[in-house]
Chain A
């Protein structure tokens, strides 16, 4: 088996965000690290929204990222600490529009190891040096220098200290003296030393200052002072002339300032009333912004409260430090304060928030603040307020962490939807993702009959908006005027009593209406001219100056607007008879500076299209011809920015779109000069014949294709996207430009729809439903279109609203992000039924008494007619230091397609972490035991059990007579039930003790699973074990009883292995498009959704294997990691091709593309087509 791995939705969780000027001086940008890729975000000037400019794959694990500005530069550079054992300095190349490596230096082993630096980074504020540190022992300092206008770094200066754990490092502002770095270190000592921390358990922490002596080129430990045991982060304080200098040590519940002259000050934090009683507040992130003469800190506690930190100082002496309560927002990983008075919060859980920041100078009585004159024990409490200084502008999607993902067509739309549980405490959501553009419906009105065509007309050719909608019926034409309201008009001059074939506006502001018997040309202040032909006009087309129509039988008439004599007449240039019936006609747009479009494109009933020349000297001379697999339905010729040139330049390319009557859409490149046709790509759109037409989308030319689904082809930041619209199908449509929007007007049966596509560039559109606690698992009940979700959270109360009111003693509290937190290991959980069609909660059942719901399944018990939902819960669960609980429960609910009725709860002595229905009985993974239960009247009844499997069971999958059991730390086991003596036999197990997080059965012999160390793997049971066992029953009976190599008699083979780089939390085998083959879809903890596609032919495998091989060499990963090594981080990469790497082909320089393509004897366009094809097969 060979699989192709492709990310459909890149990860959305942010590890770190940095504000700076990367693409140019004074460009206000944010670089975000999403572990496996980095993105550059910028505020769009026109709408004030944050937009992604560049997103670049790293093919490595970013551990830390820091910006610095080299002296004399006006732009920031980035330095990355990753798992590559190398330090990489990046710069942003504005021309190529991508991050490029400026310098790369190898220093150690690869991987995220304990003693290999890369975990922490600190830069000298003056940009002269940076320190890179490991979690333990090693620290390197690199000096940045300039060499021929390029930044290079010196060889590393080491500052190791064994047995030392580093909590944080920061670069201190020492002006232009020797650079200084501060670190929080804790020494655990040697185990042989009886007084060391590892023996006594008494920890000490030190603030160590490292000095980088530029003169001597050495690093030395300047001093090391004991600090409070709860110290966890460091903050740099600017030095003279802007500030006093020194460092702030952040501890639990207070901060500690250390000045350059050993001045010390401590400030307690103001306290949120809703804080849990068993611990204080840590600072989770901070934003720092420096203006010319002042600076500002915004600190955020782990409960989401923001504090403004201000220092009153003269020269290098600090008089007082104040912490003022600012606002409360969701807990963020990083805060970016921007010069444009914006605040970007990269939230840990839930959507990222982008705020406008307005410092309100409140009167001093009203503020809640603490300062350095207070004793540390003094407590000042506050109630979280409504946002006072901040106003939310925008939320950026964040699915992290996807705790469950399931794909099904619950809404019965023809194509499946992706349902994801985004676990994020009190910001949890259930989201429904649909492949396609989000659509806003602006109007939906009934028409008298089913129309046969719809067009929009402008009053003048260069008007920005449309004024009329023309609707054609079988024997009449309706003209609607768009004004305050839409109403029918008769004064336009358009023929209203006949069917219209085509309507258009010419460049002299006259209108052309092609009817079944000819055309009508309507000019300003002149009577309309009619041109009558014998025969029936079936197709018509026009552009600014040219008009053509075709008759039944194959006659084509061609006219041009007479612009030379200013008469404004349409002149018949030529007519001709084609050999076959004409199916479609198309005139392209007229290129700037040209008289006419050079070709008329004709689709014929012999399944061909032909280009006819329109040049005066060779009019209607037959040009290029292309054969089609089926008859054409429509044609559309237009210019779009070509993707062949990738990101280097936006050259325009003329495309011909051909909609076929079997539902295929073909796209062919047309040579503007010779009219040659090349590079044809095909895509299946739907079951109906495809009509394609030009519209305006995303401020540019786009193409709308109508079939059983509508598709939009548009350009977004230099790339061509082809996406379905998440809307009803349309029979006919036309572009609709209005003052406020660029939309589409169309008809669906006998209704008129006006719609507007939104959020261009996003692959999925989403709907979401807020949940109370973190969702853990979900199941579907397809018959009643219901979704069952179990939600559960640590540190939560059952009646959260009541508790909030009780703690804050107030009825009308604003919606707060950080609701009241309970003590450690206080659980609250519930089961929720959601109506999938309306996406709303129908019913909720809470579990009280500190229960944590951990498993759910739908079951039809044998002998009982009702439908049952079983939920496994555990009471008083404690995870740390070792797992403890008082009781497990299995609750059985009767489900009547609407609500749940508790039948009974059965206490059990283990944690029921996995449930599965199996032959009308319930399989329960109770701790390390697998049990079978049957339904009883008072409780469920245990029927069989296998005890003491190797580790805790996390999921049970049933495939015919085989039971696959996934274990928390021992991979997957295959069991079989022996009916005669009611026992389980362990048939096969894995050779690696994997920490399985998600798994699913692919077929009778094969399972796919993801583990905690970010791998995905496929294991296969040897195919002949059934026969083998039948042949030697006693031998295997004995082996099973005694165990073979401490395990089952058979071992699974690992047939695929791949390092994903993100923890896989859910897996499913399903077809994402109803017409394509099945793929494996998975969701990860970082919020990405990806698919594994099984290849169906050898040729493709060979092609992609080689493409991957070439790209590994040609496209070196940004972090300096070797791609092959990265994908083999925990085990050798096997039988899975990295589609994300293959897709990098499109981002390479054109000559590099050509060089690679030559190795295959192909053109770059062929390779891009191949990549596109495989992507289209998946989604």
Chain B
């Protein structure tokens, strides 16, 4: 009993500390959102990749960075109506 309780608090702690940690009941939409946000954040963090995208799009970097940051808010559009059911 003690162990199970401990495990519970540990996972909760993990979830609170590391955004994006999932569990078996994580809906696909939420998982997708996390993946997209992680990817976008990684793009923003790697300057050389940003240069690569800027060249492809012929956009200034400030514009592209702003676009990526904005996209992080709703990366996969609004949640589907049957979000709980849409599992993997």
Contacts and interface: CB of A to CB of B under 8 A. Distances in A.
Contacts of B45: 61, 63, 83, 112-113, 118-119, 135
A35 B61 CA distance: 15
B24 to A, nearest CB: 17
B69 A165 contact: yes
B60 A348 contact: yes
Interface in B1-50: 18-20, 29-30, 33, 37-38, 41-42, 44-49
B61 A1063 contact: no
A1060 to B, nearest CB: 9
B62 A284 contact: yes
B47 A1063 contact: no
Contacts of A165: 69, 72-73
A232 B62 contact: yes
A208 interface: no
Contacts of B30: 191
Interface secondary structure of A, over-half rule: loop
Interface in A1037-1094: 1061-1063, 1065, 1084-1086
B37 A114 contact: yes
A1012 B74 contact: no
A988 interface: no
Contacts of A115: 18-20
A197 B33 CA distance: 13
A494 B52 CA distance: 65
A284 B61 contact: yes
Contacts of A1062: 48
B33 A198 contact: yes
A135 B44 contact: yes
Interface stretch (A199-207, A602-610, A693-701, A835-843): A199-207
B57 A794 contact: yes
A282 B62 contact: yes
Interface in A156-215: 162, 165, 167, 186, 188, 191, 197-201, 203
Interface in A509-568: none
A94 to B, nearest CB: 29
B58 A203 contact: no
A283 interface: yes
B20 A331 contact: no
Interface residues on B, range: 35 or more
A167 B69 contact: yes
A774 B55 contact: yes
A199 B79 contact: yes
A1085 B55 contact: yes
A424 B54 CA distance: 9
A349 to B, nearest CB: 8
Contacts of A13: 47-48, 51
A112 B52 contact: no
Nearest to B54: A348
Interface string B66-80: 100110111001110
B63 interface: yes
Contacts of A1061: 48
A135 B51 contact: no
A333 B61 contact: yes
Contacts of B60: 282, 284, 302, 331, 348
A113 B41 contact: yes
Contacts of A1013: 49
Interface string A99-125: 000000000000011110011000000
Nearest to B76: A198
A199 B33 CA distance: 12
B67 to A, nearest CB: 8
A15 interface: yes
B52 A1065 contact: yes
B23 to A, nearest CB: 14
Given A403-B55, A1065-B52, A112 B46 contact: yes
B75 to A, nearest CB: 9
A162 B69 CA distance: 15
B19 A162 contact: yes
Contacts of A371: none
A167 B71 CA distance: 12
A348 B49 contact: no
A400 interface: yes
Given A112-B45, A348-B60, 11 more contacts: A13-B48, A112-B44, A113-B45, A119-B41, A188-B72, A285-B62, A302-B60, A401-B55, A774-B58, A1012-B49, A1063-B48
Interface of A: 11, 13, 15, 35, 61-63, 83, 112-115, 118-119, 135-137, 162, 165, 167, 186, 188, 191, 197-201, 203, 232-233, 282-285, 302, 331, 333, 348-349, 400-401, 403, 423-425, 774, 793-796, 879, 997, 1012-1014, 1061-1063, 1065, 1084-1086
13 contacts: A15-B47, A83-B45, A113-B38, A115-B18, A188-B74, A191-B83, A198-B78, A198-B79, A203-B74, A282-B66, A401-B55, A403-B55, A794-B58
